[in-house]
Structure formats: C-alpha cells, structure tokens
C-alpha cells in the first residue's frame, strides 16, 4: 500500500504538473480535490484517465469518483481493491 | 446619432433538424429529436455516441472547403437568397474552422501545406464574405458555445453606432474529433441523447449546423423580427465549468434586458442555453430564478438539435425569431421528468401563444456568456441613441518577442535591430503565480503574461471591464497534443486538460479569471488581422465611463509542427517566431500614453483599396502634417500585393518619413501587428520616435501608423493626446 501511495504521488505530480510539489510535502490524507494543491474537476478527469491507463480501472460514475478522489489514500485503496491482478 | 431599430430581414439556417426557416419550424412543431449515432467519421473503438449531425445532401461533398465553411456558406446564401440588401460586414462565430479536415490530414501525415489552407477559423468568415460578395470587414468571433450570439451582439453594436446599415451575422460549426472526443473526455456527453432540464439528464449531444441572420437598420418590407438588445459577460470563474450560482449567466441576461430597455416581466419566452449537463442547467436555472419573479414559458431545443457549439447561439436566435413571427414556442424536447432541483418547468409540448419578446441564452467555455433579446418588429419603444464615444486612449502596453519584454523589444526595434525568435521560457510566465499556470501551455501563458504586464503598466487599480483577444491560430500546443494523444491511444485516452486548453477563447478566459474581468470577453481569429479584429470589437463595445477600461491583446505561439503547416507565411526554412502585444485602453484622455483609432479595416478589393484607406485617414495633405512613422505589416505570403500597396501608399501620400516593414524585425506570426501596436504606443509614450532609425522627425508630427496590408487592408493610428 505504501509503495502504491508513493507511486501515485509521483504520477499525480507528473500528470497534473504540480510544480514545486515534492512527494514529501504531498499529504496522502489531505483533501485531494479543492484542497491545498488547487486540484479541480478537470484534474479529476485527468486522474480518471491515468487510473484507467495505468491500472486498467475505469471510474465513470461521478458519485464513485467523488469518494475515490477524496484523498490519495482512498485512491490507493480503490486501486488496490479493484486491480485486475489484486488477490483480494 | 439617431435612434435605430435593428431588423432581422432574413435568416439562413441548417441544423440536424432541417434546412431553412420554414422546415425548421415544422420540425420543431413535430417535437422529435434529430439526435442519432455519429456516422460522419469512423471510430477506432468504443461505443458510438449520439450526436446532432446534419444529413444534408446539398452540402457539396466535392468542395475543397472544410465542412464548417460549407455549412456557413449554405446558411449565408440561403439568408441572401433573393434579397436586395448588400451586407457591409460579415460577423461569424466559429470554434472549429477547418479542424475536421486538419485532423484527417495529420493522421495521414500529409505534409502538403496547401491542403491546410482553410484550417484557420478566420477563413470561414472570409469564405462567407466571398460567397456573398461582401467587401467590408469579415470578423470571426470564437467564444466557444456563445460565439454565434456574440457575433450577433457585435453586429448589433456596429449597426447601432452607424458603422454599417446591413450586416450578415451568425455562427457555424461542424462535428469533428476534437469536439466529439473532447466533450466525451470531460464526461459531459449523455449516452442516451440529450435531455435538458430532466431529472435524469446526463449531458449534451455534440452537434453541428449554421445560421446566418441578415440584420439591417433600413426597414425591410416584411421584417421577421427586431433585435432589441444584447448582453455579454464573463464568469471569470473556471475554464470549463459554469459559476455555480450562474453569476455570469445572470449578468448577461440583465445586460441584454437593460440594453433592450425591457423589464424581466416583459419577456414572454426564454430560449434556454440548456445543454443538458447537470451543472450547466443548474447554473442557468439559478440565474433565471434570481432574475425573474415569475419566469415566463421556457425551453431548450438542444434535446432536438444537440449542441452545435458556435452555431447554437445563431440557430437559437433563429428559433427566437420563429417564436415572435409565428407566436410559437418549441418544446423542451427530450425532457420527460423536469428536475425538481431546478424548480423550473420547461415546456413539455410545443405551444402556441402570443409572443412579443424573447430572451435567448448562450453560455460557453471560458465563462463566455451572451444573451439576446428579440421582439416583434416596431412593438417596443426605441432606445435612446448611444452617445458617440471619444477615441480609445492607451494607458498601458506590453509586448513579448524573441528579444524579451517591451523595454528590450522597443529599444532594439528603434535601432532597426531584429527582435524576432521564440519568446524565451523565462519570459513566458515570469509575472504569473506558478499554481495558476501549472496546466497552461505556451499561448495562455503568453497571454496572461501580457495581460498582467499591460494592466500593471496602466497603473489602473480596478479590474478591467472587458478583455478582447486576437489570435490567428489559437492554442496550437494544446490542439496538437490533444490530437496526438487521441491518435496514439487509438481514441481511448483523449486529454480533458488539452481539450479545455485548445479552445480559442481559453487564453482570454484565463486572463478574465486571473484579473477578475466579468464584462465582455471576446476572442477573434482573423489570421494575420486577428489583433485588428479584437481592436475593432473593443472600439464597438468599450463604454465611455471613466472607470471602464479593457485589455486588447494579440498573441500567437510558434509550434514546430503546426505553424509551418498552417501559417502560409511560414516556409519550411523560416525560423519560428512568436509573441504578442497588449494594450490597456479606456476612453479617458487624461493620463493616457497616446490615443488610438482604427479608421479603416476592409477586405482588399477594387473599391476598398489604398486610396480609400488614405481617404479614411483624412487624405494625403493631412497625413503629411501629422504622421511621423509608418510601421507596415506585410505577411510573407502577401509580399507581392503588400509591397505594391505600400508603394502606392507612399506615392499617393508623398510621405517622406521612415517606413518600416515590421515583420522583417518582429518575425512571421499572425499577431505580429499586436507587437507593432505595443511598440508604437511605447515609442509615443517615451518620445523615442524622434530618434527612430536616426532620422529626425519634426515636432509637429506626432502620429504613428500601423498598416496591415495584403488581402485585408487596415490602419491603426497612434497619436499623442
């Protein structure tokens, strides 16, 4: 899980071009959308694409999306539990 | 100025519903949706989404013109059919231009430059002007989904100010991959068709079409309706989402009502923007609730037509015209269970009732809003004539070139040295907050940087009232990146960020957000004359209040792949150059750096020639007495014609002053004239023109002309106050 969180931090910093943000000051439990990083609805859609592309998981329902992207931890948990190659 | 009524003399219309006004009305009476599966281009994978496609056999498939051009010409020719009026200007809204053709060419790795010659959005208005033989200005407006309405609003301002007696105005857009996949990537498309205001609505259906309205101040024999008012605003909130309370929508409606001199209670019907996306419909409903104590009957036709983007504002102005001409209200096709959360009941069936005045709404990306009021002819008192505005006064300026910002650029230019090249990365966004620009690529960064610098240079503390932006080619990086990723991912992963960034009015919308500019926000795209078009629009719309000031910008980015393909002035061996300029303008002379007029802007023809341009400047003798410097803009592709025009200008005026072909120093890009404008303003502000190129000019001579030559002729005159 920690490995996935670390991986997601790198990916989001890259995909969302979060200039000046380092993995160290990316709080995985902080509110992701509308939080301190200025992430908005367009970023959410970009993250949806990233999750589908990199992890093969489609999120095309706004309600689920709101829960999944509430924090980096919840995103990691969702990916882990829905991953095609997850053992759970 | 006398009071003027603006009549809608005729309308040409083509939409997924039908071709022609009568057939459109008949189909609206049927209350059936014309939305169906896309079959205009094949898809590489995935479910086929519903769209509003024009199935029009009369769209000449053998024409070399892109589909948007053909739709626009069809509507224009229909509007002009058996009319005796000759429009003095064409104002057309479009977002797609020739992109459908370009997409295919890029996929085929086709490098034949001439096949891209209709890519630019400005070529649509020019194509229409040629088709109907109009020699006056052909302006292209690109404000996303409000483009058609904004084009009509600009035409209205032109007619009111007596700049023309007859104008053909409207909008056109064709389906294309960019919009089809772009809106899908934003999860804004309803897989079950479009159901505006329905509790179960899930989005829009991307569509295509065109409508052109023949507007005139000379009363025709049987006018269809009267254009009573227009209101423009900008949310200045988010690049793609509406303000949640519908702030901008409300401001546009309020402004349109005030412009028409009507109260909300006098509106008999509202033609909703009603795209069918959850947020858009909610914001519009809130805005209407805030403005109307008892809202009149209302409906969106987008459940029947889909959302034809730039065409929709014009198509719906046509529907508003049908409403007043036939006392007929179309249904909100597709809606079966009105959303209780919206607290508005749209018309579920077509209705016949007396209609004197209609409000028609169009809201778009970038928070660009336009509302129109259309009424029965001669039924309402005319408005007091608008006072004639004093000349535009420049209070601040900025530019970016390969040489850097304004001071460096002007200093080199004044020595006759080149400032050409690509704007260096460190100049692109140095005055901008890093977080604000993290998603922005080259053109929006350049635009924001210019906007902030011009505003700062002016010393005005208040927010600009309005923003006008000219760009020949728009955001090329975002457009190219979107299409590339679309193709590389086999159409699976289009980028929502690049789609939002690719719209022509994206940069001006971003500037509005950064600076809090909630008034008109207009992007024009007229190739090498885009900046002049933005200035033309600003001069029509900027009010005379002491506190009113606006920004007029022009910028274009150099793109390694697209610029040499699209810009006819860039040969394979032409070094890429880019940049732009910005002016902060008001009507207040006090404290101004200099004054600015645009006395001439016409398509170059036998009658609209250099002699006419000189006449518009007051003639040769007057020019000899006041003109100190000429900056001439001759795009490389226009060299032969442009040089002949310049030669004639010098011969006819007998001007013995420095004449600089500024593109030799600034470089080849569409909005090079914006840089020339900023340099001219800067030279007059600092008095450098007396030493320009070492050639002394006499003290009485105090103006600089910036000429635009080629297939359009224009002149901007800068003078000391």
Summarize pLDDT for A11-26 with one digit per residue, the tens: 999 999 998 889 998 8
Cβ B238–A40 below 8 Å, yes or no? yes
φ, ψ of residue B370 to 5 degrees: the values are -145, 130
Chain B partners of A38 at a C-beta cutoff of 8 Å? 435, 438
CATH 1.10.1200.10 fits A2-18+28-82, yes or no: yes
What per-residue confidence (pLDDT) applies to B626?
92
Span B96-119, mean pLDDT? 96
User: Which residues on B lie below 8 Å from A42 (Cβ)?
Assistant: 186, 239-240, 439, 496-497, 500
Active site residues of B: 145, 273, 307
Q: Give the span between the Cα atoms of B570 and B576, in whole angstroms.
A: 8
From the CB of residue B594, how many other CB atoms can be counted at a distance below 10 Å? 25
Contact B186 A17 (CB under 8 A): no
Q: Residue A62: list chain B partners with CB under 8 A.
A: 187
Total beta-carbon pairs less than 8 A apart between chain A and chain B? 44
pLDDT at B390 over 60: yes
For tokens 């569409």, name the residue: B670
Of B532, B577, B523, B507, nearest to B677 by C-alpha is B532
Query: Which positions in chain B touch A46 (Cβ < 8 Å)?
Result: 495-497
Percent of chain B residues topping a pLDDT of 90: 89
- CB < 8 Å to B435, chain A: 19-20, 38
Whether residue A87 is predicted with pLDDT greater than 70 in this model: the reply is: no
Residue B588 pLDDT exceeds 90: yes
pLDDT (0 to 100) of residue B306: 98
In chain A, whose CA is at the least distance from the CA of B497?
A: A42
Q: What sign does the CA torsion over B602, B603, B607, B613 have?
A: positive
Nearest CA in chain A to B278: A62
Looking at chain B, which residue has its C-alpha nearest residue A62?
A: B187
Is the pTM higher than 0.80? The answer reads yes
Q: Which among B546, B548, B547, B550 is positioned nearest to B535, based on CA atoms?
A: B550
- The average pLDDT across B535-539 equals 97
Mean residue pLDDT of chain B comes to 94
B439–A16 C-beta distance less than 8 A: yes
Query: Above 80 in pLDDT, residue B358?
Result: yes
Domains defined along chain B, listed by start: 6-375 (3.40.47.10), 392-719 (3.40.47.10)
Q: Mean pLDDT, to the nearest integer, of B264-272?
A: 98
Under the banding of pLDDT at 50, 70 and 90, the label for residue B60 is confident
Q: Residues B2-11: pLDDT tens digits? A: 578 999 999 9
Q: How do residues B447-463 score in pLDDT, each as one tens digit?
A: 999 999 999 999 999 99
* A22 at interface of B, judged by CB pairs closer than 8 A: no
Q: Least CB-CB distance to A60: which of B187, B239, B489?
A: B187
Query: A41-85: per-residue pLDDT in tens?
Result: 899 999 999 999 999 999 877 788 888 999 999 999 999 999 876
So what's the pLDDT on residue B314? Answer: 98
Mean pLDDT of B557-578: 95
ipTM of the complex as predicted:
0.91
pLDDT tens-digit map of B212-227? 999 999 999 999 999 9
User: Which residues have C-beta within 8 Å of that of residue B433, sequence separation ≥ 6?
Assistant: none
CA neighbor of B186 nearest in space, from B365, B439, B440: B365
| Res. B691 pLDDT band, cuts 50 70 90 | low
Going by pLDDT thresholds of 50, 70 and 90, the confidence category of residue B686 is confident
How far is the alpha carbon of B496 from chain A, nearest alpha carbon, in Å?
6
Query: Is A60 within 8 Å of chain B by CB?
Result: yes
The CA distance from B416 to B631, in Å, is 12
């Amino acid at each position: 899980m920690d490995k996935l969180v670390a991986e997601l931090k790198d990916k989001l910093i890259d995909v969302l071009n979060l200039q000046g943000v380092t993995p160290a000051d990316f709080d995985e439990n902080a509110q992701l959308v509308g939080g301190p990083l200025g992430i908005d609805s367009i970023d959410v859609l970009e993250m949806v694409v990233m999750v589908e592309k990199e992890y093969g998981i489609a999120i095309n329902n706004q309600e689920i999306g709101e829960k999944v992207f509430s924090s980096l931890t919840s995103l990691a948990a969702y990916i882990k539990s829905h991953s095609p190659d997850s053992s759970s | 100025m006398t009071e003027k009524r603006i009549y809608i003399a005729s309308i040409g219309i083509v939409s997924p519903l039908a071709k022609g006004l009568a057939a459109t009305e008949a189909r609206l009476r049927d209350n059936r949706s014309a939305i169906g599966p896309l079959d205009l281009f094949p898809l590489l994978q995935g479910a086929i989404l519903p769209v509003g496609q024009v199935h029009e056999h009369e769209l000449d498939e053998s024409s070399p013109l892109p589909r948007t051009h053909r739709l626009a010409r069809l509507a224009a020719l229909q509007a002009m059919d058996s009319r005796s009026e000759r429009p003095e200007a064409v104002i057309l809204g479009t977002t797609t231009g020739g992109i459908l053709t370009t997409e295919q060419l890029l996929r085929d790795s086709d490098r034949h430059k001439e096949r891209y010659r209709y890519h630019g959005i400005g070529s649509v208005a020019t194509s229409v002007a040629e088709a109907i033989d109009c020699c006056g200005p052909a302006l292209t407006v690109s404000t996303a989904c409000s483009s058609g309405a904004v084009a009509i609003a600009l035409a209205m301002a032109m007619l009111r100010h007596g700049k023309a007696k007859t104008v053909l105005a409207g909008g056109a857009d064709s389906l294309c991959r960019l919009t089809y996949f772009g809106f899908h990537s934003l999860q804004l498309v309803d897989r079950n068709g479009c159901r505006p205001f329905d509790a179960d609505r899930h989005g829009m259906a991307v569509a295509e079409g065109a409508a052109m309205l023949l507007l005139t101040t000379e009363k025709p024999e049987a006018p269809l309706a009267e254009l009573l008012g227009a209101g423009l605003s900008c949310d200045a909130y988010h690049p793609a989402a509406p303000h949640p309370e519908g702030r901008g929508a409300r401001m546009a409606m309020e402004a349109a009502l005030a412009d028409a001199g009507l109260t909300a209670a006098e509106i008999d019907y509202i033609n909703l923007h009603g795209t069918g996306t959850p947020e858009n419909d909610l914001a519009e409903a809130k805005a209407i609730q805030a403005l109307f104590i008892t809202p009149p009957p209302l409906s969106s036709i987008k459940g029947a037509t889909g959302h034809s983007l730039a065409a929709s504002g014009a198509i719906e102005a046509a529907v508003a015209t049908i409403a007043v001409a036939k006392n007929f209200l179309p249904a909100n096709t597709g809606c079966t269970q009105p959303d209780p959360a919206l607290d508005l009941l749209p018309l579920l069936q077509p209705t016949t009732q007396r209609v004197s005045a209609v409000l028609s709404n169009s809201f778009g990306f970038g928070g660009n809003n336009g509302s129109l009021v259309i009424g029965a002819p001669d039924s309402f008192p005319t408005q007091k004539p608008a006072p004639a505005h004093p000349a535009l006064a420049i209070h601040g300026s900025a530019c970016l070139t390969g040489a850097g910002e304004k001071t460096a650029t002007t200093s080199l230019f004044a020595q006759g040295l080149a400032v050409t090249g690509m704007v260096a990365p460190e100049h692109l966004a140095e005055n901008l907050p890093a977080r604000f620009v993290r998603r922005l690529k080259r053109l929006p960064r350049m635009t924001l940087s210019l906007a902030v610098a011009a505003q700062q240079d002016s010393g005005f503390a208040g927010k600009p009232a309005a923003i006008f932006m000219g760009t020949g080619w728009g955001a090329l990086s975002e457009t190219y990146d979107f299409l590339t990723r679309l193709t590389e991912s086999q159409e699976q992963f289009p980028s929502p960020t690049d789609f939002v960034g690719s719209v022509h009015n994206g940069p001006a919308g971003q500037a509005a957000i950064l600076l809090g500019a909630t008034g008109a926000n207009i992007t024009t795209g007229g190739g090498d004359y885009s900046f002049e078009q933005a200035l033309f629009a600003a001069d029509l719309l900027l009010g005379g209040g002491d506190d009113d000031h606006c920004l007029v910008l022009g910028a274009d980015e150099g793109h390694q792949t697209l610029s040499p393909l699209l810009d006819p002035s860039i040969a394979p061996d032409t070094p890429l150059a880019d940049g732009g300029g910005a002016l902060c303008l008001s009507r207040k002379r006090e404290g101004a750096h200099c004054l600015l007029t645009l006395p001439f802007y016409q398509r170059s023809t036998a009658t609209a020639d250099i002699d006419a341009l000189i006449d518009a400047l007051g003639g040769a003798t007057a020019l000899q007495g006041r003109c100190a410097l000429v900056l001439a803009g001759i795009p490389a592709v226009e060299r032969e014609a442009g040089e002949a025009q310049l030669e004639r200008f010098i011969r006819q005026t007998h001007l013995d002053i420095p004449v600089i072909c500024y593109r030799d120093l600034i470089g080849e890009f569409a909005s090079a004239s914006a840089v020339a404008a900023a340099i001219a303003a800067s030279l007059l502000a600092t008095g450098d023109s007396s030493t320009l190129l070492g050639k002394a000019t006499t003290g009485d001579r105090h103006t600089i002309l910036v000429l635009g030559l080629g297939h359009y002729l224009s002149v901007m005159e800068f003078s000391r106050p």
